[in-house]
Chain A
Protein backbone atom coordinates (compact mmCIF):
# COMPACT_ATOMS: atom_id res chain seq x y z
CA UNK A 1 0.00 0.00 0.00
CA UNK A 2 1.30 3.48 -0.81
CA UNK A 3 0.14 6.96 -0.03
CA UNK A 4 -1.31 9.78 -2.07
CA UNK A 5 -1.88 13.46 -1.52
CA UNK A 6 -4.95 15.27 -2.84
CA UNK A 7 -4.60 19.04 -2.59
CA UNK A 8 -7.46 21.55 -2.31
CA UNK A 9 -8.01 25.27 -2.79
CA UNK A 10 -8.91 25.86 0.85
CA UNK A 11 -9.28 24.20 4.21
CA UNK A 12 -13.07 24.20 3.72
CA UNK A 13 -12.87 22.09 0.56
CA UNK A 14 -10.28 19.82 2.18
CA UNK A 15 -12.62 19.29 5.14
CA UNK A 16 -15.60 18.58 2.91
CA UNK A 17 -13.40 16.13 1.02
CA UNK A 18 -12.39 14.48 4.28
CA UNK A 19 -16.05 14.06 5.26
CA UNK A 20 -17.20 12.55 1.97
CA UNK A 21 -14.23 10.17 1.78
CA UNK A 22 -14.74 9.00 5.34
CA UNK A 23 -18.45 8.42 4.62
CA UNK A 24 -17.34 6.23 1.73
CA UNK A 25 -15.01 4.27 3.98
CA UNK A 26 -11.83 5.76 2.52
CA UNK A 27 -9.28 6.53 5.24
CA UNK A 28 -7.57 9.90 4.98
CA UNK A 29 -5.90 12.55 7.10
CA UNK A 30 -6.23 16.32 6.82
CA UNK A 31 -2.92 18.17 6.86
CA UNK A 32 -1.10 21.20 5.50
CA UNK A 33 -0.03 20.92 1.88
CA UNK A 34 3.77 20.55 1.59
CA UNK A 35 5.03 23.90 0.34
CA UNK A 36 6.54 22.56 -2.90
CA UNK A 37 3.19 21.11 -3.98
CA UNK A 38 1.33 24.41 -3.89
CA UNK A 39 2.84 27.03 -6.18
CA UNK A 40 0.32 29.65 -4.97
CA UNK A 41 1.32 29.28 -1.33
CA UNK A 42 -0.53 27.90 1.69
CA UNK A 43 -3.19 25.22 1.50
CA UNK A 44 -4.51 21.97 2.90
CA UNK A 45 -4.51 18.44 1.53
CA UNK A 46 -5.70 14.95 2.35
CA UNK A 47 -3.19 12.14 2.72
CA UNK A 48 -4.57 8.72 1.74
CA UNK A 49 -3.14 5.26 2.24
CA UNK A 50 -4.57 3.07 -0.49
CA UNK A 51 -3.67 0.86 -3.44
CA UNK A 52 -5.63 2.95 -5.91
CA UNK A 53 -6.58 6.63 -5.61
CA UNK A 54 -9.18 6.47 -8.40
CA UNK A 55 -12.18 5.60 -6.19
CA UNK A 56 -11.35 8.55 -3.90
CA UNK A 57 -11.10 10.94 -6.83
CA UNK A 58 -14.40 9.64 -8.18
CA UNK A 59 -16.15 10.13 -4.83
CA UNK A 60 -14.84 13.69 -4.58
CA UNK A 61 -15.98 14.48 -8.11
CA UNK A 62 -19.42 12.96 -7.54
CA UNK A 63 -19.85 15.19 -4.49
CA UNK A 64 -18.65 18.31 -6.26
CA UNK A 65 -15.56 18.75 -4.09
CA UNK A 66 -13.08 20.63 -6.26
CA UNK A 67 -9.51 19.27 -6.13
CA UNK A 68 -6.33 20.98 -7.21
CA UNK A 69 -3.83 18.18 -7.72
CA UNK A 70 -3.15 14.53 -6.89
CA UNK A 71 0.31 13.24 -6.00
CA UNK A 72 1.39 9.63 -5.73
CA UNK A 73 4.35 7.97 -4.02
CA UNK A 74 6.64 6.27 -6.55
CA UNK A 75 8.52 3.03 -5.84
CA UNK A 76 11.67 5.02 -5.05
CA UNK A 77 9.71 6.94 -2.37
CA UNK A 78 9.56 10.22 -4.34
CA UNK A 79 6.24 11.89 -5.14
CA UNK A 80 4.91 12.57 -8.62
CA UNK A 81 1.87 14.46 -9.82
CA UNK A 82 -0.82 12.31 -11.36
CA UNK A 83 -3.16 13.27 -14.14
CA UNK A 84 -6.68 12.56 -12.92
Chain B
Protein backbone atom coordinates (compact mmCIF):
# COMPACT_ATOMS: atom_id res chain seq x y z
CA UNK B 1 0.00 0.00 0.00
CA UNK B 2 1.16 3.51 -0.82
CA UNK B 3 -0.12 5.42 2.19
CA UNK B 4 -1.09 9.00 1.41
CA UNK B 5 -3.68 9.61 4.12
CA UNK B 6 -1.46 11.14 6.78
CA UNK B 7 -4.01 13.90 7.27
CA UNK B 8 -6.24 11.28 8.89
CA UNK B 9 -3.51 9.50 10.83
CA UNK B 10 0.12 8.60 10.31
CA UNK B 11 0.41 4.93 9.48
CA UNK B 12 4.13 4.18 9.46
CA UNK B 13 5.50 5.04 12.89
CA UNK B 14 9.13 5.07 13.99
CA UNK B 15 10.19 1.68 15.43
CA UNK B 16 10.70 3.25 18.86
CA UNK B 17 6.97 4.02 19.04
CA UNK B 18 5.93 0.38 18.61
CA UNK B 19 8.58 -0.71 21.11
CA UNK B 20 7.59 1.85 23.75
CA UNK B 21 3.90 0.88 23.57
CA UNK B 22 4.75 -2.78 24.16
CA UNK B 23 7.20 -2.03 26.96
CA UNK B 24 4.71 0.21 28.73
CA UNK B 25 1.99 -2.44 28.55
CA UNK B 26 4.34 -4.94 30.16
CA UNK B 27 5.94 -2.70 32.79
CA UNK B 28 3.45 -0.01 33.82
CA UNK B 29 0.64 0.09 36.38
CA UNK B 30 -1.51 3.16 37.08
CA UNK B 31 0.41 6.47 36.93
CA UNK B 32 0.11 9.02 39.74
CA UNK B 33 -1.59 6.57 42.03
CA UNK B 34 0.85 4.17 43.75
CA UNK B 35 4.36 4.32 45.17
CA UNK B 36 5.59 0.91 44.02
CA UNK B 37 7.88 0.33 41.05
CA UNK B 38 5.34 -0.32 38.29
CA UNK B 39 3.23 2.70 39.30
CA UNK B 40 6.27 4.97 39.44
CA UNK B 41 7.42 3.63 36.07
CA UNK B 42 4.02 4.54 34.62
CA UNK B 43 4.37 8.05 36.05
CA UNK B 44 7.84 8.35 34.53
CA UNK B 45 6.55 7.30 31.10
CA UNK B 46 3.72 9.83 31.27
CA UNK B 47 6.03 12.58 32.47
CA UNK B 48 8.46 11.71 29.68
CA UNK B 49 5.70 12.45 27.18
CA UNK B 50 4.86 15.75 28.85
CA UNK B 51 8.52 16.72 28.94
CA UNK B 52 9.12 15.82 25.27
CA UNK B 53 6.04 17.84 24.28
CA UNK B 54 7.09 20.80 26.43
CA UNK B 55 10.49 20.86 24.71
CA UNK B 56 9.01 20.75 21.21
CA UNK B 57 6.21 23.25 21.87
CA UNK B 58 8.11 25.59 24.19
CA UNK B 59 6.15 25.46 27.41
CA UNK B 60 6.34 23.87 30.87
CA UNK B 61 5.50 20.15 31.32
CA UNK B 62 2.50 20.93 33.52
CA UNK B 63 1.04 23.08 30.74
CA UNK B 64 0.74 19.93 28.60
CA UNK B 65 -2.61 18.24 29.28
CA UNK B 66 -2.87 14.73 27.91
CA UNK B 67 -6.06 14.13 25.95
CA UNK B 68 -7.53 11.30 23.91
CA UNK B 69 -7.53 13.30 20.66
CA UNK B 70 -7.31 16.78 19.21
CA UNK B 71 -11.11 16.87 19.30
CA UNK B 72 -11.05 16.20 23.05
CA UNK B 73 -8.60 19.06 23.55
CA UNK B 74 -10.63 21.45 21.39
CA UNK B 75 -13.76 20.64 23.38
CA UNK B 76 -11.96 21.48 26.64
CA UNK B 77 -10.56 24.68 25.15
CA UNK B 78 -13.87 25.83 23.70
CA UNK B 79 -15.79 25.02 26.88
CA UNK B 80 -13.20 26.97 28.84
CA UNK B 81 -13.53 30.16 26.79
CA UNK B 82 -16.93 30.29 25.14
CA UNK B 83 -20.16 30.95 26.98
CA UNK B 84 -23.48 29.81 25.46
CA UNK B 85 -24.44 32.24 22.73
CA UNK B 86 -21.02 33.91 22.78
CA UNK B 87 -19.60 35.52 19.65
CA UNK B 88 -16.74 33.49 18.20
CA UNK B 89 -14.66 34.26 15.10
CA UNK B 90 -13.33 31.26 13.18
CA UNK B 91 -11.51 30.83 9.90
CA UNK B 92 -13.25 29.55 6.79
CA UNK B 93 -11.28 26.32 7.02
CA UNK B 94 -12.33 24.84 10.35
CA UNK B 95 -12.93 21.17 11.05
CA UNK B 96 -16.10 19.91 12.71
CA UNK B 97 -13.97 19.36 15.83
CA UNK B 98 -14.16 23.14 16.20
CA UNK B 99 -17.52 24.01 14.70
CA UNK B 100 -19.64 21.27 16.26
CA UNK B 101 -18.68 22.13 19.88
CA UNK B 102 -19.38 25.79 19.06
CA UNK B 103 -22.70 24.88 17.50
CA UNK B 104 -23.61 22.78 20.56
CA UNK B 105 -22.99 25.85 22.74
CA UNK B 106 -25.24 27.93 20.53
CA UNK B 107 -22.30 30.21 19.78
CA UNK B 108 -22.69 33.11 17.36
CA UNK B 109 -20.15 31.80 14.83
CA UNK B 110 -18.61 34.41 12.52
CA UNK B 111 -16.51 33.07 9.64
CA UNK B 112 -13.53 35.20 8.62
CA UNK B 113 -11.44 34.57 5.51
CA UNK B 114 -12.55 32.05 2.95
CA UNK B 115 -9.97 32.60 0.20
CA UNK B 116 -7.55 29.70 -0.14
CA UNK B 117 -3.81 30.42 0.10
CA UNK B 118 -4.39 34.18 0.49
CA UNK B 119 -2.79 35.54 3.66
CA UNK B 120 -3.74 39.14 2.91
CA UNK B 121 -7.41 38.22 2.64
CA UNK B 122 -7.31 36.03 5.75
CA UNK B 123 -5.72 38.77 7.85
CA UNK B 124 -7.99 41.50 6.51
CA UNK B 125 -11.15 39.48 7.18
CA UNK B 126 -10.08 38.58 10.70
CA UNK B 127 -9.25 42.22 11.34
CA UNK B 128 -12.73 43.24 10.13
CA UNK B 129 -14.47 40.56 12.19
CA UNK B 130 -12.62 41.53 15.35
CA UNK B 131 -13.63 45.18 15.07
CA UNK B 132 -16.96 44.13 16.57
CA UNK B 133 -15.21 42.19 19.33
CA UNK B 134 -15.46 38.51 20.18
CA UNK B 135 -15.51 36.21 23.18
CA UNK B 136 -12.92 34.03 21.49
CA UNK B 137 -11.18 33.28 18.22
CA UNK B 138 -10.49 29.78 16.93
CA UNK B 139 -8.37 29.06 13.88
CA UNK B 140 -6.70 26.10 12.34
CA UNK B 141 -2.98 26.27 11.63
CA UNK B 142 -3.27 24.17 8.46
CA UNK B 143 -6.46 23.23 6.58
CA UNK B 144 -6.96 19.48 6.78
CA UNK B 145 -8.56 19.50 3.32
CA UNK B 146 -6.35 21.84 1.30
CA UNK B 147 -3.12 22.10 3.26
CA UNK B 148 -3.47 25.90 3.40
CA UNK B 149 -1.06 27.18 6.06
CA UNK B 150 -2.81 30.08 7.76
CA UNK B 151 -0.74 33.08 8.97
CA UNK B 152 -0.85 31.94 12.59
CA UNK B 153 1.79 34.30 13.93
CA UNK B 154 0.00 37.33 12.49
CA UNK B 155 -3.42 36.08 13.61
CA UNK B 156 -2.04 35.44 17.10
CA UNK B 157 -0.57 38.95 17.20
CA UNK B 158 -3.92 40.39 16.11
CA UNK B 159 -5.77 38.50 18.88
CA UNK B 160 -3.24 39.57 21.48
CA UNK B 161 -3.49 43.20 20.31
CA UNK B 162 -7.30 43.07 20.57
CA UNK B 163 -7.15 41.24 23.91
CA UNK B 164 -9.30 38.39 22.60
CA UNK B 165 -8.54 34.87 23.89
CA UNK B 166 -7.75 32.41 21.15
CA UNK B 167 -7.41 28.72 20.38
CA UNK B 168 -5.23 27.18 17.67
CA UNK B 169 -6.11 23.85 16.10
CA UNK B 170 -2.71 22.35 15.28
CA UNK B 171 -4.12 19.02 14.08
CA UNK B 172 -2.28 19.19 10.76
CA UNK B 173 0.78 21.19 11.74
CA UNK B 174 2.12 19.62 14.95
CA UNK B 175 5.17 17.64 13.96
CA UNK B 176 5.63 19.47 10.65
CA UNK B 177 5.68 23.21 11.39
CA UNK B 178 6.98 25.17 14.39
CA UNK B 179 4.34 25.55 17.11
CA UNK B 180 5.29 27.47 20.23
CA UNK B 181 2.88 28.11 23.09
CA UNK B 182 5.13 30.75 24.64
CA UNK B 183 5.75 32.63 21.38
CA UNK B 184 2.20 32.52 20.02
CA UNK B 185 0.65 33.31 23.40
CA UNK B 186 -2.44 31.26 22.62
CA UNK B 187 -4.79 30.37 25.44
CA UNK B 188 -4.90 26.83 24.10
CA UNK B 189 -3.27 24.84 21.32
CA UNK B 190 -4.83 21.45 20.60
CA UNK B 191 -3.27 18.63 18.59
CA UNK B 192 -3.59 14.91 18.02
CA UNK B 193 -0.84 12.53 19.07
CA UNK B 194 -1.34 10.13 16.18
CA UNK B 195 -0.83 12.34 13.12
CA UNK B 196 2.38 14.33 12.64
CA UNK B 197 3.60 13.48 16.13
CA UNK B 198 3.58 9.79 15.13
CA UNK B 199 2.13 8.39 18.35
CA UNK B 200 -0.65 5.81 18.69
CA UNK B 201 -4.29 6.60 18.08
CA UNK B 202 -6.23 7.59 21.20
CA UNK B 203 -3.64 10.20 22.19
CA UNK B 204 -3.65 13.96 21.97
CA UNK B 205 -2.19 17.04 23.62
CA UNK B 206 -3.72 20.28 24.82
CA UNK B 207 -1.21 23.04 25.54
CA UNK B 208 -2.69 25.45 28.08
CA UNK B 209 -1.49 28.96 28.83
CA UNK B 210 -3.33 29.15 32.15
CA UNK B 211 -6.79 28.48 33.45
CA UNK B 212 -8.95 25.74 31.97
CA UNK B 213 -12.34 24.28 32.77
CA UNK B 214 -12.64 20.52 33.26
CA UNK B 215 -14.69 18.60 30.73
CA UNK B 216 -14.66 15.42 32.82
CA UNK B 217 -14.65 15.00 36.60
CA UNK B 218 -13.13 12.22 38.66
CA UNK B 219 -10.11 10.90 40.47
CA UNK B 220 -6.72 12.45 39.81
CA UNK B 221 -4.55 10.82 42.47
CA UNK B 222 -4.22 14.22 44.16
CA UNK B 223 -6.13 16.20 46.82
CA UNK B 224 -8.46 13.23 47.21
CA UNK B 225 -10.48 14.66 50.11
CA UNK B 226 -11.51 17.70 48.10
CA UNK B 227 -14.68 17.22 46.02
CA UNK B 228 -13.85 19.93 43.52
CA UNK B 229 -11.38 19.15 40.78
CA UNK B 230 -7.86 20.44 41.55
CA UNK B 231 -7.48 24.03 40.41
CA UNK B 232 -4.07 23.40 38.82
CA UNK B 233 -2.82 21.82 35.65
CA UNK B 234 -2.55 19.15 34.44
CA UNK B 235 -4.61 17.36 37.12
CA UNK B 236 -7.60 19.64 36.51
CA UNK B 237 -8.03 18.20 33.01
CA UNK B 238 -6.93 14.61 33.51
CA UNK B 239 -9.33 12.59 35.70
CA UNK B 240 -9.30 8.83 35.36
CA UNK B 241 -6.59 6.42 34.34
CA UNK B 242 -4.38 7.71 31.56
CA UNK B 243 -3.50 5.79 28.40
CA UNK B 244 0.06 5.02 29.52
CA UNK B 245 1.06 2.82 26.55
CA UNK B 246 -0.30 5.48 24.21
CA UNK B 247 1.64 8.33 25.81
CA UNK B 248 4.77 6.19 26.08
CA UNK B 249 4.53 5.70 22.32
CA UNK B 250 3.74 9.36 21.74
CA UNK B 251 6.85 10.34 23.73
CA UNK B 252 8.93 8.35 21.27
CA UNK B 253 7.14 9.98 18.34
CA UNK B 254 7.90 13.41 19.78
CA UNK B 255 11.56 12.50 20.25
CA UNK B 256 11.74 11.23 16.66
CA UNK B 257 10.30 14.52 15.39
CA UNK B 258 12.86 16.51 17.40
CA UNK B 259 15.74 14.33 16.23
CA UNK B 260 14.68 14.49 12.59
CA UNK B 261 13.86 18.19 12.70
CA UNK B 262 10.70 20.01 11.67
CA UNK B 263 12.40 21.61 8.71
CA UNK B 264 13.53 18.26 7.33
CA UNK B 265 10.06 16.72 7.74
CA UNK B 266 8.40 19.73 6.12
CA UNK B 267 10.85 19.64 3.21
CA UNK B 268 10.24 15.92 2.59
CA UNK B 269 6.49 16.51 2.47
CA UNK B 270 6.64 19.74 0.53
CA UNK B 271 8.98 18.39 -2.14
CA UNK B 272 6.54 15.57 -2.86
CA UNK B 273 3.58 17.95 -2.67
CA UNK B 274 5.03 20.09 -5.46
CA UNK B 275 5.75 17.01 -7.64
CA UNK B 276 2.25 15.73 -6.95
CA UNK B 277 0.61 19.05 -7.85
CA UNK B 278 2.56 19.32 -11.11
CA UNK B 279 1.77 15.71 -11.98
CA UNK B 280 -1.96 16.05 -11.30
CA UNK B 281 -2.15 19.26 -13.33
CA UNK B 282 -0.43 17.50 -16.23
CA UNK B 283 -3.05 14.75 -15.98
CA UNK B 284 -5.78 17.34 -16.39
CA UNK B 285 -7.14 17.24 -12.85
CA UNK B 286 -8.54 20.27 -11.05
CA UNK B 287 -5.90 20.86 -8.37
CA UNK B 288 -6.24 23.15 -5.35
CA UNK B 289 -2.74 24.46 -4.91
CA UNK B 290 -1.01 27.69 -4.02
CA UNK B 291 1.48 29.48 -1.88
CA UNK B 292 1.56 28.66 1.85
CA UNK B 293 0.69 25.01 1.37
CA UNK B 294 1.77 22.11 3.61
CA UNK B 295 2.03 18.48 2.47
CA UNK B 296 -1.66 18.10 1.66
CA UNK B 297 -3.46 18.69 -1.64
CA UNK B 298 -7.02 18.20 -2.79
CA UNK B 299 -8.05 17.52 -6.38
CA UNK B 300 -11.00 16.62 -8.54
CA UNK B 301 -10.99 14.14 -11.42
CA UNK B 302 -13.68 13.71 -14.04
CA UNK B 303 -15.73 11.46 -11.77
CA UNK B 304 -17.22 11.31 -8.27
CA UNK B 305 -14.49 11.81 -5.66
CA UNK B 306 -15.40 8.67 -3.69
CA UNK B 307 -15.34 6.56 -6.86
CA UNK B 308 -11.97 8.03 -7.77
CA UNK B 309 -10.58 7.16 -4.33
CA UNK B 310 -11.99 3.66 -4.65
CA UNK B 311 -10.26 3.20 -8.00
CA UNK B 312 -7.02 4.43 -6.49
CA UNK B 313 -7.46 2.01 -3.56
CA UNK B 314 -7.71 -0.85 -6.03
CA UNK B 315 -4.32 0.28 -7.38
CA UNK B 316 -2.91 0.15 -3.84
CA UNK B 317 -3.12 3.89 -3.13
CA UNK B 318 -4.62 5.03 0.20
CA UNK B 319 -6.17 8.51 -0.01
CA UNK B 320 -9.29 10.03 1.47
CA UNK B 321 -12.25 11.44 -0.43
CA UNK B 322 -15.43 13.28 0.57
CA UNK B 323 -15.82 16.25 2.87
CA UNK B 324 -13.09 15.34 5.39
CA UNK B 325 -15.29 16.43 8.34
CA UNK B 326 -14.74 20.00 7.20
CA UNK B 327 -17.83 21.41 5.48
CA UNK B 328 -16.71 24.98 6.26
CA UNK B 329 -13.51 24.42 4.24
CA UNK B 330 -15.36 22.88 1.32
CA UNK B 331 -17.90 25.68 1.37
CA UNK B 332 -15.03 28.18 1.22
CA UNK B 333 -13.50 26.41 -1.79
CA UNK B 334 -16.82 25.80 -3.52
CA UNK B 335 -16.52 22.02 -3.26
CA UNK B 336 -19.29 21.28 -0.77
CA UNK B 337 -21.37 19.53 -3.44
CA UNK B 338 -18.57 17.52 -4.99
CA UNK B 339 -16.13 16.89 -2.16
CA UNK B 340 -12.51 16.31 -3.18
CA UNK B 341 -9.87 13.61 -3.23
CA UNK B 342 -7.19 14.44 -0.68
CA UNK B 343 -3.57 13.38 -0.88
CA UNK B 344 -1.60 13.95 2.34
CA UNK B 345 2.09 13.17 2.73
CA UNK B 346 3.85 12.21 5.95
CA UNK B 347 7.28 12.15 7.54
CA UNK B 348 8.35 9.29 5.26
CA UNK B 349 7.37 11.03 2.00
CA UNK B 350 9.55 10.10 -0.96
CA UNK B 351 9.47 10.24 -4.74
CA UNK B 352 8.53 6.57 -5.17
CA UNK B 353 5.23 7.23 -3.36
CA UNK B 354 4.45 10.15 -5.66
CA UNK B 355 5.43 8.20 -8.78
CA UNK B 356 3.19 5.25 -7.84
CA UNK B 357 0.34 7.60 -7.01
CA UNK B 358 0.62 9.53 -10.27
CA UNK B 359 0.79 6.29 -12.25
CA UNK B 360 -2.50 5.19 -10.64
CA UNK B 361 -4.04 8.67 -11.02
CA UNK B 362 -3.25 8.65 -14.74
CA UNK B 363 -5.98 6.00 -15.11
CA UNK B 364 -8.62 8.44 -13.81
CA UNK B 365 -10.47 10.68 -16.26
CA UNK B 366 -9.39 14.30 -16.22
CA UNK B 367 -11.60 17.02 -14.77
CA UNK B 368 -14.22 18.48 -17.07
CA UNK B 369 -15.56 21.97 -16.50
Question: Does residue B365 face the partner (Cβ distance < 8 Å to A)?
Answer: no
Known A-B contacts A32-B34, A32-B35, A64-B60; A9 and B222 likewise in contact (beta carbons under 8 Å):
yes
Of listed A9, A10, A19, A66, residue having the most chain B CB within 10 A: A10
Chain B residues with CB under 8 A of A30: 40, 43
A40→B226 contact, CB < 8 A: yes
Interface size of A by Cβ–Cβ distance < 8 Å? 19
B223→A41 contact, CB < 8 A: yes
Look across to chain B and name the residue whose beta carbon is closest to the beta carbon of A9: B232
Name B11-62 residues within 8 Å CB distance of A.
31-35, 40, 43-44, 47, 50-51, 60-62
Complex CA–CA separation, A44 to B40 (angstroms): 10
Chain A residues with CB under 8 A of B223: 9, 40-43
Judged by DSSP, the binding face of B is loop
Question: Does residue A12 face the partner (Cβ distance < 8 Å to B)?
Answer: yes
Question: Does residue A50 face the partner (Cβ distance < 8 Å to B)?
Answer: no
Look across to chain B and name the residue whose beta carbon is closest to the beta carbon of A16: B61
User: B127 → chain A, closest Cβ, in Å?
Assistant: 35
Question: Does residue A13 face the partner (Cβ distance < 8 Å to B)?
Answer: yes
Of listed A12, A30, A31, residue having the most chain B CB within 10 A: A12
Chain A residues with CB under 8 A of B232: 9-10, 66
B35→A43 contact, CB < 8 A: no
Chain B residues with CB under 8 A of A43: 222-223
Name A2-58 residues within 8 Å CB distance of B.
9-13, 15-16, 19, 30-32, 39-44
Name B329-352 residues within 8 Å CB distance of A.
none
B40→A10 contact, CB < 8 A: no
A40→B62 contact, CB < 8 A: no
Look across to chain B and name the residue whose beta carbon is closest to the beta carbon of A8: B222
B44→A42 contact, CB < 8 A: no
Query: Given A10, A13, A15, A64, which contacts B44 in the complex, CB threshold below 8 Å?
Result: A15
User: A2 → chain B, closest Cβ, in Å?
Assistant: 21
A15→B222 contact, CB < 8 A: no
A13→B226 contact, CB < 8 A: no
Complex CA–CA separation, A11 to B235 (angstroms): 9
A31→B230 contact, CB < 8 A: no
Of listed B220, B221, B222, B232, residue having the most chain A CB within 10 A: B222
Given contacts A11-B43, A66-B232, 4 further A-B contacts (CB under 8 A): A12-B62, A16-B62, A41-B226, A42-B224
Residue positions of B touching A, CB distance < 8 A: 31-35, 40, 43-44, 47, 50-51, 60-62, 220-226, 230, 232, 234-235
29 contacts between A and B (CB under 8 A): A9-B223, A10-B220, A10-B221, A10-B222, A10-B230, A10-B232, A10-B235, A11-B32, A11-B222, A12-B47, A12-B50, A12-B234, A13-B62, A15-B43, A15-B47, A16-B47, A16-B60, A16-B62, A30-B40, A32-B34, A39-B225, A40-B224, A40-B226, A41-B222, A41-B224, A41-B225, A42-B33, A64-B60, A66-B232
